[in-house]
Amino acid sequence: MFTGDNDALLVLLLVPRMVCKVDLLLGQVREKLVPPSFSEGVQSGEDIANSPDVETYAFSCQFSFLLHALMSELHRWASALSTCSTDDFLRVGILHSELSIQEKGLDFYLELLRKSQVCTLYIFYLFFSLIPIALAPGLF
pTM to 2 decimals?
A: 0.76
> Is the residue at 83 inside a domain?
yes
Range of the domain at 114: 5-35+49-129
> Using CA atoms, how far apart are residues 52 and 78, in angstroms rounded to an integer?
41
* pLDDT tens column, 93-126: 888 888 888 888 888 888 888 887 766 445 544 5
> Is the residue at 18 inside a domain?
yes
> Is the residue at 136 inside a domain?
no
Going 62 to 64 to 65 to 69, the CA torsion angle's sign is positive
Please state the domain count of the chain: 1
pLDDT above 50 (res 132): no
> Is the residue at 44 inside a domain?
no
**Rounded to 5°, angle at Cα 103 from 101 and 105:** 75
Query: pLDDT band at residue 22, thresholds of 50, 70 and 90?
Result: very high
Per the CB < 8 A criterion, the answer to whether 11 and 25 are in contact is no
> Is the residue at 82 inside a domain?
yes
Query: Between 18 and 30, whose confidence is greater?
Result: 18
* pLDDT tens column, 58-80: 778 888 888 898 888 889 888 88
pLDDT at 46: 74
